[in-house]
Structure formats: C-alpha cells, structure tokens
Structure 1
Amino acid sequence: MRKIMMLAALGAATAMTTPALAGSPDGKIQVKVLGTAVLPDGGIDKIKYVDPTLAGTLTEMGVVDIDTKANDNVVPTLAIEYFFNKNISVETICCFTTHHVNGAADLAGTNLVNHVMILPATLTAKYHLDMGSPIKPYVGAGPALFFVFDEKPGDTAKALGVDRVKMSNSLGVALQGGIDIALGDNGFGISLDAKKYFMKPTAKFYAAGTKVLETKHDLDPWVLSAGVSYRF
C-alpha cells in the first residue's frame, strides 16, 4: 500500500514539475491520482467439488446452503491514459487491493479466506464526448486480468482442517464510465470514474495436500474512483 501511494505521488509530482511537459487540457497523456473503493460480490457461482468427509462435517453442523461474500476496500490508484485524438484514448490502472472472503447463507459469520491480495491489470479503450465545455463524459471497455497473491485459509477453514487455499488468476472484462472536468488551461482537472468488472475466479481448499473443496465465484466488483488529474 505504501509503495503504491509513493508511486502515485511521484507520478503526479513528475508531471507537475517537469518544464518540458507543459500542461494542457488537450494534451496526449493524462495521469490520475485517485482514491478507489473496491466493492466485490464474491458469491459462489458453483461448487465444483466437495470431499465426502467435509460434506459430512458440514451436514452435521447443519450447513446446507453454502455461500460467500468478499469485503469492501478503499485503496489509492494511479491511472495513465494516452489520447489518440480528442475522442479516443486508452487507459491502464495500477493498484493493489486486499480482501477477506467470509461465509454467507448457512455459513454467515464465518471466515474462510484471509488476505487475498489482487492486482487488477486493466486496459480500457475509451470514447470521450466533447461537450464544448470543461466537462467531458466518457465510456469505455476492455480486458482485465486479476492476479491473486498471498491468500491464506481463514479461522473457520482452519477449524475444518484446511491448511492451504489457492485462488486462481482470472481473465474477464471491465465496463467503464466517468467524467473528466478540466480546471482551467493548465492541464489540471478532477476525475470521477466507475468500472464494473465481470470475473469468475476459482478457489481450491486443501487439507494435508488433498483437495477438499473447489468453488467458482462471481467476484464481479464495482470499482469507484475520484481524484485529481494532470494532462500534458
């Protein structure tokens, strides 16, 4: 987290202080430093495998309806955008977000996966509507690849004998919409952005090296951002 904040600050400071990169609301490159709320779903789409012993244990506990929910998070984000012309651009973002996966339905109140760190590598093509004013709405879409790191079994999973959990990287798509607002002619501005991702990662739970549970999830987060921009 600290590294991302330092990177964002460095990017903004570089853009603002380099004389050769004169700010302009019509520049080719735009850098954004944003605060971002990551609001995932995390519900189970399908239970692909459950070990009979684990299934019996869950039945004894009175667990019939199994579901999950991932917690929300707020993180700093750095976005870099290149404009081909006044209407068409491409944008990529840089951030890490960390989540826990908790039980829902009959597993409500339980902790299944801890500290799932995600790098949401995203590239969107965007169309900007020229309103003849400093306010420029846009829409976009593009591929996204979620890289997953450092996931650990939660307390409830450990109590059921799980000692390792692995969540898959996931390829999906992102839809995007937002508004850029230029603040004068010096390249500075304000940006509001919303993305909806469609991702279906798989989680595998192991006990003593043996897979005891495999589930597919609708991660499908909303990613809502607001912050400052500099275009040059």
Structure 2
Amino acid sequence: MRKITLLAALTAATAFSGPALAGSPEGRFQVKVLATGVLPDGGVDKIKSIDTGLAATLSGMGVSDVDAKANDNVVPTIAAEYFFSKAVSVETICCFTQHHVSGAAYLAGTRLVDHVLILPATLTAKFHLDTGGPIKPYVGAGPALFLVFDEKPGVTARALGVDRVKMSNSLGLALQGGVDIALGQSGYGVSLDAKKYFIKPTASFYADGVNVLETKHNLDPWVISAGLSYRF
C-alpha cells in the first residue's frame, strides 16, 4: 500500500511540476493535492455479542452500557479525476488516516482501541455545473471501501483482559459536494471538497483467542478537503 501511495504522490508531483503536460481548465485529467480533515463519529450502533464474564466485570464497575468516539485527524490526500465530458467525471482518492477509539458516556475517558489505520478507498461519479466562469461547483456519489490495518487494543481494553482487537473492512456509501476554481488558463486551480461517508465496521475484542466483545460502529465520517489542483 505504501508503494501505491508513493507512486500516486510522484505522479501528482510530476503533473504539478512538469511542463510536458499542457495545462487547461478543460482538460480530461485532473490531479489534486489536498489537506484533509477526517471527522468520524465512531459511536457504537449495537453490541453484537459480549462474554458473560466481561459483562459481569463491567457491571461490577457500574457500567450498564457501552459507547465510543473516534478521534479526528488531518492527513494529506491525493485525488485523481477523469472527465468524460464537461459535466461528468469520476474521481478516486488516496490517503491513510490514523485513529483511536475512546469510550464515551459510561466509559468516558477510556481507551478501547489505541491505534487503527484506515485506507478509505473511494470512487465517486461527479456532476459538474458549468457556470460559464472559473467557479464550477459539483456533487457526487459512489461506493467506499474502508480497509483497516494495524489495530491495537487500548489501555482500558487491555485492563479488561483483551489482548487483540480486529476491526472489519467495511463497504459503504460516500456522498460528495464541492467546488473547483480555475486560476486562469494554465490548468492550475483551487479545490474545496466535502464528503459524507456511511460506514459501519465491526470491532471484535479477543482475550486468549476468545471473542469476548463484538460491537458495530457508526463510523460515518465527514471528510473535508482543501488544496491545489492541476487539470490537463
């Protein structure tokens, strides 16, 4: 995955710096380098299963319910887009985002998952409004597959005997809206973008190989991006 990310970054860098590709605000291809805020919910949708021993332990701690919150993060993002026409395009993005999952409400301040890497593989079909000027708003929608790596149990989970945590890969939907602003006729521009994802992964907590807790989460992040674009 890191090799793919590096290749995409080199491709984008070439597009931004190389004179061989003639820039045009009407070009078929567009690449973007963006700063992206990932703002997930992470709340527990439901507890799918819980070990009776763990349930008794939580009850003894005065915990009658479980909820969670995933932290926000800011990451660099690369986007690549192909225009079939002035109005219709498809776009994909590339980034890794790291999060931890903390207890909320009844487990306030606790750490359930200390570290998780997410690759939000996303492909959206976009419709662009031709305003006749440099400012072109758009909307889009498409499938999203969240690939999850390197999960680690948090301090609270380990204190409860959990030695391994696994979050499932999850398929969902992304809705998108934004605006591209051309800076003259050179192909360079500014892009502002917002996506809302609807993703519900499952987190499984294990103690000595036994699944003691399984929770389904409303990850559902807002992904807000701003940066530079080059169209050619």
Q: Same fold (TM over 0.5)?
A: yes
Kept in 1: contact 2:28–2:231 (CA 8 A): yes
Corresponding residue of 2:87: 87
Contact map agreement 2:5 2:95 (CA 8 A) in 1: no
Partner Cα separation in structure 2 for residue 27 and residue 143 of structure 1 = 25
Paired AA for residue 52 in structure 1: T
Match for residue 155 of structure 1? Answer: 155
Give the count of matched residue pairs.
232
2:218 counterpart of 1:218: yes
**Cα separation, 1, equivalents of 2:107 and 2:217:** 15
Q: Counterpart of 1:206?
A: 206
Superposed CA RMSD? 1.6
CA deviation after TM superposition for structure 1 residue 6, in Å: 5.8
Q: How far apart in 2 are the matches of 1:146 and 1:43?
A: 16
Task: State the partner residue of 1:11.
Answer: 11
User: Does 2:131 align with 1:98?
Assistant: no
Q: How much has 1:42 moved relative to structure 2?
A: 0.2
Q: Is the 8 A contact 1:40 1:70 kept in 2?
A: yes
1:8–1:33: 8 Å Cα contact kept in structure 2? no
Which secondary structure state, in structure 1, belongs to the residue aligned with residue 161 of structure 2?
A: coil
Is the CA contact (8 Å cut-off) linking 2:36 and 2:224 kept in structure 1? yes
Instruction: Give the deviation of 1:86 after TM superposition.
Output: 0.4
Hey, what's the Cα distance between the residues in 1 that align with 2:19 and 2:155?
54
2:194 aligns with 194
TM superposition score normalised by structure 2: 0.96
Quick check: 2:5–2:94 contact (8 Å CA) kept in 1? no
Helix, strand or coil at the partner of 1:114: strand
* Gaps in structure 1 of 5+ consecutive residues: none
Letter in 1 for 2:74: V
Task: Give per-residue Cα distances to partners, 1:65-110, cap 9 Å, x unaligned.
Answer: 2100000000000000000010000000000000000001110000
Structure 2: runs of 5 or more not aligned: none
State how far apart, in whole Å, the 2-side matches of 1:9 and 1:118 are.
18
- Cα deviation for residue 10 of structure 1 reads 2.7
Equivalent position amino acid for 1:22 in 2: A
Work out the CA distance in 2 between the residues paired with 1:70 and 1:16: 34
Q: Deviations over 1:173-220 (max 9, x none)?
A: 000000000000000000000000000000000000001000000000
5 Å-filtered alignment, 1:116-135, equals 116-135=116-135
Distance 1:185 1:11 in 2: 21
CA contact (8 A) 1:4 1:77 kept: no
CA 145–9 in structure 1, closer or farther in 2 if over 3 Å, else same: closer
CA drift at 1:17:
3.5
Identity %: 77
What is the TM-score normalised by the length of structure 1?
0.96
